Structure 1
Amino acid sequence: MTDIDGSKSVGALDRIEEIIAYVEQAKAVPMSRACKVDRAEMIAMLEELQNELPGDLRRAEAMLQERDKIIDAGEREAERIITEGETEHARLVSRHEITVSAEHEGNRIIAEARGEAQRLRDEVDEYVDTTLANFEQFLHRALSGVERGRDKMHTLREIGTFAPSPQEPVEEEKPLPQL
């Protein structure tokens, strides 16, 4: 993801992937599915993710506003084309010797304008649908990653503290923070 100033930034999906990689690389507890993670580091990573999500949501809202602008511009252009077609139609009809051909030509221009307006609407709808589908996938992956992280944290909480190895000093048991 690149910011407005052109610099590289880490997005919410990248942050989720970092958290998953961190948990996957954590030291395993022997004879258990559990692992040891630095609580403060995990909380810091999750807080960074939490801070990034509102920005992603604002970008999605900006995309929707852009979609509305594109639709409005397309409708204005369609109205302009239709108005031109109707004006041209009226001008041609007013000429007595070409009334029949003018009527056909005006109808053709109006139909062409309406077809062009519909084509523009269809293109905008397709663009917006694709963009929203991509954003929906992004949100789904983000939520899945958060859910996996929370499940791992709950598993660690259920296991409780681990018996220290003979080389490790004994630390006082501290409760996990509530999310």
Structure 2
Amino acid sequence: MEYRVGPLDRIEDIVAYVEAAKAIPMSRNCKVDRAEIIGMLEELRGELPGELRRADAMLAERDKIIEAGEKEAERIIAEAEDEHARLVSAHEVVVSAEREGHRIVSEARNEAQRLRDEVDEYVDTTLANFEQFLQRALAGVERGRDKMHALREIGSFAGPSQQAEPEKPLPSI
């Protein structure tokens, strides 16, 4: 009989051997070669410890791989949580900075408007004072011109005899 390689294959061989054995009439039993079946079972028993050690080693390796995977997953989760916390913190800083920026811009606009109002008031007051000064100066110029015209009229009505008289100084303005 040709044997297969692994223990499960050996078990299949044994089952096939027993199934192929000659049945004993009027019984559920069959006739098998005791030495051959014992040889097959001993080979199987010899292989099982090695196979079981390999299976244990594979299970242990699988457990190590799973444990390493879980540790790596925990590390990745911890890094993700740290990054999340950093981003949330950075976002809070950005939001806070934006609020502060809006507040500063608002204050600057209010201060600029206040300064514009003060400058407008100062310029208006200065122009009003200058206007009053110019109106007084203009009034003085008008009075001076009126006096000059009045003196000219007086001087043009004077006859030839009065022309020889020395000129009198003009009254001061």
TM range (shorter): 0.3 to 0.5
What is the TM-score of this pair, normalised by structure 1? 0.42
The structure whose RCO (Cα within 8 Å, separation 6+) is larger is: 1
Higher Cα Rg: structure 1 or 2?
Answer: 2
Structure (1 or 2) with the greater helix fraction: 2
Normalised by the size of structure 2, how large is the TM-score?
Answer: 0.43
